[in-house]
């Protein structure tokens, strides 16, 4: 049953590392009736636009909601956040607990994702109950939206190095922090306050408990909510798990996922030692940076270094589509053809901007000194060194706001029935990260997807995934704990 307002109970291929979220149109096609307001909550019946929401080829009835919450609950009289969400009614005559969907990033607008490629998946979840898609604080549609107005660029004719890039990024982020100083309590844009947002939304909608379905950064938010409010979660689904203490990635675990990708390439027959090919390429570029003359339309020289190649490879490893192109691009670069990387790098060195929401959420999470020491040790032998943490290190070296204490980074312990979903080729949230988190869970199930990377691979690569998630949310026994995707069709040079 829907609860109306009247019944309310009180989100890097050589692109500069920190990119602004693309500004897209609202997925709301039009309002179907008047807005009903009760206290800080307002609800409006709407047509939600799906597919290509510029043309609105398809619409779905839903409710658009807004809930006003404090930015900092220790200063309740201070500035507020206008949380935006969309609620879809259950598609079953026997609905269970409402599910709240949490997107990744941090910084991705969940409602835009729901209007795009995640639409069918989220609509399937309605077979278990109502579905609420929440735009987290600071993202588009939940203002203040902390997109920096300034821009920064890197010289194209100089090799990209940490020493050259970091000061430019630091200056940009600190200027952005000054820009928002009077509008936002920046330290309050953290995962703990965001978890409190979820509970305020739960109470406003009159719900005793909720299910959580989350992906990537959203799993960190879900885990914090489960830590703070263990009795208010009926079940949880965590895809591409990142615990609060795992914001900084371990190079050894990234390297293990890279080895699995290399083994898949080797098995396809394009090479017998893909890891060795990549290692040789990186060593060559590190020893002798590549100069490429581009016509744009005036001739422009761009100098490519190891960091550019690491960035591109890491971005391609994000999902199956990118992984499929790895042998082709590595082969071309081995043969001296760096034109495509030069084109991407040139665009990425110009006119960049940061999302301060993403910076704040990541940097307020903090990191323990022992983990940094472990990362430093492991980076000496990892193929991509410490690249997974390079953007984070650059952004957080600029952060001057508060950082959450050690209790935030402690192991989460829970008896909530939780389904973890991992991909064997996921370099961003490796299988081993989920296994580590599961050690604190009494009722954990692990669905491992053989051949999946990150992001959409974890939810959309097989129709069986949505089927299993719905079954789990309906408290049914899962038929399998492992799915095997078709072999990747690698594209060789």
Distance CA 432, CA 422 (A): 9
Residue 11 has pLDDT above 80, yes or no: no
Among the listed residues 114, 115, 116, 109, the one whose alpha carbon sits nearest the alpha carbon of residue 137:
109
Taking only the tens place, the pLDDT of each residue in 261-312 is 999 999 998 789 999 999 999 999 999 999 999 887 788 999 999 999 999 9
Residues 99 and 173 in one domain: no
72, 130, 457, 195 alpha-carbon torsion, rounded to 10°: 20
Residue 493 covered by a domain:
no
Instruction: Tell whether 217 is covered by a domain.
Output: yes
On whether both 23 and 122 belong to a single domain, the answer is yes
Residue 384: inside a domain: yes
CA pair distance 432, 420, nearest whole angstrom: 11
Q: Are 103 and 117 within 8 A, CB to CB?
A: no
- What's the number of domains the chain is made of? 2
The answer to the question of residue 490 being in a domain is no
**pLDDT band of 6, cuts 50, 70, 90:** very low
Q: What is the pLDDT of residues 426-450, one digit of tens each?
A: 999 999 999 999 999 999 999 999 9
Asked if 254 contacts 388 with a C-beta cutoff of 8 angstroms, the reply is yes
Same domain membership, residue 347 and residue 239: no
CA separation, residue 221 to residues 44, 108, 217, 288, 355 (Å): 27, 13, 7, 43, 18
Domain-located, residue 98:
yes
Per residue in 333-385, pLDDT (tens digit) is: 999 999 999 999 998 898 999 999 999 999 999 999 999 999 999 999 999 99
Q: What percent of the chain has pLDDT over 90?
A: 85
Mean pLDDT of the chain: 92
For residue 491, being part of any structural domain is answered with no
- Domain hosting residue 324, numbered range: 147-183+248-365+367-402
373 plus 414 within the same structural domain = no
How many Å is the Cα radius of gyration of the chain?
Answer: 23
15 band by pLDDT with thresholds 50, 70 and 90: very low
């Amino acid at each position: 049953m829907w609860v109306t307002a009247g019944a309310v109970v009180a989100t890097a291929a050589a692109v500069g590392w920190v990119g602004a979220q693309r500004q897209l149109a609202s997925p709301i096609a039009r309002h179907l009736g008047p807005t009903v307001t009760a206290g800080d909550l307002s609800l409006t019946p709407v047509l939600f636009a799906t597919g290509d929401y510029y043309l609105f080829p398809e619409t779905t009835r839903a409710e658009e909601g807004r809930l006003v919450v404090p930015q900092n609950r220790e200063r309740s009289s201070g500035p507020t956040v206008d949380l935006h969400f969309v609620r879809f009614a259950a598609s079953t005559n026997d609905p269970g607990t409402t599910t709240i969907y949490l997107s990744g990033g941090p910084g991705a607008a969940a409602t835009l994702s729901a209007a795009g490629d995640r639409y069918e998946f989220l609509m399937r979840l309605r077979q278990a109950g109502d579905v609420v898609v929440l735009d987290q604080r600071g993202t588009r549609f939940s203002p203040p939206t902390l997109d920096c107005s300034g821009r920064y660029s890197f010289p194209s004719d100089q090799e990209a190095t940490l020493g050259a890039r970091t000061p430019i990024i630091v200056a940009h982020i600190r200027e952005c922090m000054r820009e928002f100083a009077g509008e936002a309590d920046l330290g309050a844009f953290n995962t703990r306050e965001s978890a409190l947002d979820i509970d305020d939304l739960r109470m406003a909608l009159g719900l005793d408990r909720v299910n959580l379905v989350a992906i990537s950064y959203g799993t960190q938010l879900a885990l914090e909510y489960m830590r703070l409010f263990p009795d208010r979660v009926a079940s949880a689904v965590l895809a591409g798990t990142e615990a609060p203490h795992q914001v900084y990635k371990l190079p050894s675990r990234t390297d293990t996922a890279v080895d699995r990708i290399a083994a898949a390439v080797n098995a396809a027959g394009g090479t017998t030692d893909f890891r060795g090919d990549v290692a040789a390429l990186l060593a060559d570029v590190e020893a002798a940076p590549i100069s490429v003359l581009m016509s744009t339309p005036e001739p422009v020289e761009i100098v490519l270094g190891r960091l550019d190649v690491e960035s591109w490879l890491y971005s391609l490893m994000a999902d199956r589509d990118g992984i499929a192109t790895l042998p082709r691009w590595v082969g071309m670069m081995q043969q001296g053809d760096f034109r495509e990387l030069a084109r991407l790098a040139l665009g990425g060195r110009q006119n960049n901007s940061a999302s301060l929401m993403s910076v704040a959420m990541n940097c307020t999470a903090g990191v323990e000194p022992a983990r940094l020491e472990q990362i430093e040790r492991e980076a000496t032998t990892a193929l991509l060194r410490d690249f997974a943490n390079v953007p984070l290190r650059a952004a957080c070296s600029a952060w001057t706001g508060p950082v959450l204490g050690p209790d935030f980074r402690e192991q989460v312990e829970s008896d909530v029935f939780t389904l973890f979903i991992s991909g064997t080729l996921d370099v961003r949230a490796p299988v081993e990260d989920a296994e580590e988190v599961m050690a604190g869970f009494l009722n954990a199930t692990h669905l491992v997807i053989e051949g999946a990377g990150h992001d959409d691979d974890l939810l959309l690569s097989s129709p069986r995934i949505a089927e299993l998630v719905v079954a789990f949310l309906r408290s049914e026994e899962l038929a399998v704990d492992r799915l095997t995707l078709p072999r990747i069709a690698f594209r060789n040079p």
